[in-house]
Amino acid sequence: MVTVKSEVTLREVTEDTVRSVCELAVKEEQNSYVAPNAISIAEAYFSKDAWFRAIYADETPVGFAMLEVQPKKAEYYLWRFMVDAQHQKSGFGRRAMVLLIEHVRTMPNAIEFLTSVVPGDDCPQGFYEGLGFQLTGEWDNGEAIMRLVL
C-alpha cells in the first residue's frame, strides 16, 4: 500500500510496466499543462536526447519524468513531469524532483537545469519555485522558462 512514507525511486519503463505508466493521468483541469505519458514515451523513442523514467512509490508507479539531455551543449531540460491525480499532494513529486536534480548534477558540464510552465490557475510554477527554480523572463512557444542554478 502506498503511503506518504513510501520510498520514491526513478525506474526505467519496460515492456512489463509501460501500460501501467501510460494509464497514469493528472487531474482533468491539469490536462492542458502536460502531455499524456503515452505521447511522451513515443516522443522519447524518436528523440536522441530523451531520458525518461517512471516515478515509483515503493512498488507502485505514481508518475513520469522525461529530460532532454544534451551534454555537449551543457543543456539539461525537464521536458515532462507528472504525478498521477490520486497521488498528488503526497510529497512524491517533490521527492522525485530532488532525485532528478541530483541526477542532472552528475551529468557532464551541468551548471543549470531548465524547465518551462504554461501560465494558468493550475500551473506548477509555485511547485518549481519551491525547489529553487526561478523564472528567467524568457518564453518559448507560450511557456515561461524557469532555471535552477546547480
Q: Does position 120 have pLDDT exceeding 90, yes or no? A: no
Determine, yes or no, domain membership for 57.
Answer: yes
14 in a domain, yes or no?
yes
All three cell numbers of 49: 536526447
Residue 50 falls inside a structural domain: yes
Q: Residue 146: pLDDT above 90? A: yes
Quote the pTM value: 0.94
Residue 141 resides in a domain: yes
Q: Residue 146: count other Cβ atoms within 10 Å of its Cβ.
A: 22
Task: Name the domain count of the chain.
Answer: 1
Residue 3, domain member (yes or no): no
Neighbours of 35 (CB within 10 A): 17
111 pLDDT above the threshold of 90: yes
Determine, yes or no, domain membership for 118: yes
Q: Which residues pair with 145 in a beta bridge?
A: 116
pLDDT per residue as tens digits for the range 8-52: 999 999 999 999 999 999 999 998 889 999 999 999 999 999 999
Arithmetic mean of pLDDT over the chain:
95
pLDDT grade for 121, boundaries at 50, 70 and 90: confident
| Torsion angle of C-alpha atoms 51, 54, 59, 62, degrees rounded to 10 | 160
Task: Give the other-Cβ count within 10 Å of 149's Cβ.
Answer: 9
Do the strands 8-11 and 75-83 form a parallel or antiparallel pair, or are they unpaired?
A: unpaired
Q: Is 2 contained in some domain?
A: no
CATH number at residue 26: 3.40.630.30
Residue type, 19: R
Q: Tell whether 123 is covered by a domain.
A: yes
- pLDDT score, position 122: 78
Residue numbers of the domain that contains 70: 8-149
